[in-house]
Structure 1
Amino acid sequence: MINLNGTITSHEAAKLSLKNRGLLYGDAVFETIKAVNGQLFFWEDHYFRLMASMRILRMAIPMHFSMEFLEDEIKKTIRAATFDKQAVRIKLYVNRKEGGKYNPTNHDVDYFIELEATGNPFYTLNEDLYRVELFKDHYIYANLLSTLKSNAKTINVLGSIYATENGYQNCLLLNEKKMVVEALQGNLFLVKGTTIITPPTSDGCLRGIIRKQLIEIGKTLKEYTIEEKSISSFDLQKADELFVTNVMIGIQPISNYRKKSYGTEVAKILLQKLNVKARLTF
């Protein structure tokens, strides 16, 4: 089932205009949200990130786009799809209404919500082989737009093709200064000794929801310190652990980068605390 501007319809009956600005110009933002038994993980953080993204892209935010309204629309869609007793992947898309070419004639928005059933209700650690490599064909630019969850994802698409063709589970993206920014599907964390490091948003990484949770968790740990600091490709070789984060997987440890192998000790500690934090958002 899909929710189009508040109307529930089937995938087959849903219609998207060929003049949709998200389709034509990438003039859209989205949130990927995890829900279990009809309850949304970290919904407040998702909502405020969405509102910030819409403001940056100069979209007109409707007066009724409150946190409660959008939560109700998402839950209405979950119930209509009879997914209210399982884990669900939710995509909430917002695009500027059609009109104009590069210069829009209307700053109002449309939205739609789609769902996909998933597996584990809470986050578990996958310790299978997970090899990564640098994707150096194209760069992320260290600016504000790179931090937004927009549907302009050409680098991620090309990087995913490269990873598949070369037998990697993921690739790490670089900015124009050759700093490691993030992975194809999430933020990157590095552990060296008792220090946990993740790139700052000023390097161009996504303002990830799980990234935010782990930074908050890291500040409460007595045994470790957490820093937002640029990461070079040389730092990857010196690290004790590397892992990728996003709202669907939680924490995915990287097992290998080139000839380097990594552990999972800190990832396990953080994952346990992340699951506790997720339950507290209900």
Structure 2
Amino acid sequence: MTIAYLNGDYAPLADVRISPMDRGFLFGDGVYEVIPCYDGSMVALQYHLERLHQSLEGIALSQPESDAQLTSILSEVVARNGAGNLGIYLQITRGVVAKREHAFPEHPLPTIFAYAFDISPPSDGSPETASCFRAVTRRDQRWGRCHIKSTALLGNVLHMMEAVEEDAEEVLLFNDQDELTEAAACNVFVVCGDTIVTPELDHQKLPGVTRRQCLELLETHTDWTVEIRPVSRDEVLSASEIWLSSSTKELAPVVSVDGKPVNEGRPGARWSAAQKLFQQHRFSRP
């Protein structure tokens, strides 16, 4: 039985009730984080809290609890749900209002909600343990503030369904300049020759925690050439490897794009080496 947290109380998830007048329900007026937890230990929690601060600032909502208080809440959710391999979902909205109107309430009372869900053990970097993804490509049609980790994810959901309808698991998105932005639920790395490339951050991309960890690990533990810059569609389609990065996937290889194989449809050697670095260092900060 999943135990969730809502505004000071812990209860079975099935018994938790949120008002239909919550602005998170009415407008998607809130932000969230998903923190992976393995054997009771949360991964990169400080990075997630830093991004939470940035997202709250992006929607002009003050953080209702301190980092220490949020950490205590999340730790309790982990403990009450067995402290195994879990994803911890944390959502903060602008709270309940008496009347639905677009303007922010003058004195909001934010809603804090958290719950846990099971996740698979991470790959150890071997091809046998890789979660491989097929991807399609589409023009990025989401809103212009993707750097905020907003709960308003309809644009991402519609793009994800474009992948599902093509029997794929992800969609690689390109802006009007035909430059890679990200995927529906992940950041993206591509291997071009001997160089690892990922798009530079801006309003079109979420500042992924796993992306940040990956860049730090590659800088600290390899001599690989890594570039953060615009990535063209041609570079993506000719890449020898493509990786997805997200908190619950770490690094995952893309084995086909638009039905054409990447690296002969197998996880690549660079992906394997990078994921092995996560296996060794996921709980450390370089």
Q: Specify if TM > 0.5.
A: yes
The partner residue of 2:43 within 29, 36, 41 is 41
The offset of 1:180, in angstroms, is 1.4
State the partner residue of 1:75: 75
The offset of 1:235, in angstroms, is 0.9
Amino acid in structure 2 at the alignment position of 1:256 = S
Q: Is structure 2 residue 119 aligned with structure 1 residue 118?
A: yes
User: Cα gap change, 1:7/1:172 in structure 2, threshold over 3 Å: closer, same or farther?
Assistant: same
Q: Is structure 2 residue 96 aligned with structure 1 residue 98?
A: yes
Amino acid in structure 1 at the alignment position of 2:284 = L
Q: Is the 8 A contact 2:31 2:52 kept in 1?
A: yes
- 2:131 and 2:5 map into 1 onto residues whose CA distance is 36
Q: Is structure 2 residue 262 aligned with structure 1 residue 261?
A: yes
- 2:203 and 2:30 map into 1 onto residues whose CA distance is 22
- 1:29 and 1:272 map into 2 onto residues whose CA distance is 31
The offset of 1:67, in angstroms, is 2.1
- 1:13 and 1:127 map into 2 onto residues whose CA distance is 36
Q: Is the 8 A contact 2:74 2:114 kept in 1?
A: yes
The partner residue of 1:131 within 134, 147, 153 is 134
Matches for 1:111-260 after TM superposition, within 5 Å = 111-120=112-121, 122-125=122-125, 126-127=129-130, 130-136=133-139, 138-140=140-142, 143=144, 145-202=145-202, 204-258=204-258, 259-260=260-261
- 2:12 and 2:235 map into 1 onto residues whose CA distance is 48
- The percentage of counterpart residues that share the same residue type is 22
User: Cα gap change, 1:239/1:178 in structure 2, threshold over 3 Å: closer, same or farther?
Assistant: same
CA RMSD of aligned residues (A): 1.9
The offset of 1:256, in angstroms, is 1.4
Q: Is structure 2 residue 269 aligned with structure 1 residue 271?
A: no
- 1:60 and 1:279 map into 2 onto residues whose CA distance is 29
Q: Is the 8 A contact 1:58 1:107 kept in 2?
A: no
Q: Which runs of 5+ in 2 are unaligned?
A: none
The offset of 1:110, in angstroms, is 1.6
- 2:49 and 2:256 map into 1 onto residues whose CA distance is 35
Q: Is the 8 A contact 1:22 1:151 kept in 2?
A: yes
SS in 2 for 1:202: coil
The number of equivalent residue pairs is 273
User: Cα gap change, 1:243/1:76 in structure 2, threshold over 3 Å: closer, same or farther?
Assistant: same
- 1:129 and 1:104 map into 2 onto residues whose CA distance is 43
CA deviations 1:215-264 (Å, max 9, x no partner) are 11222355411111111211112211101010111111011123342251
TM-score, L = length of structure 2:
0.89
State the partner residue of 1:26: 28
Q: Give runs of ≥4 in structure 1 deviating > 6 Å.
A: none
- 1:237 and 1:61 map into 2 onto residues whose CA distance is 42
User: Cα gap change, 1:173/1:109 in structure 2, threshold over 3 Å: closer, same or farther?
Assistant: same
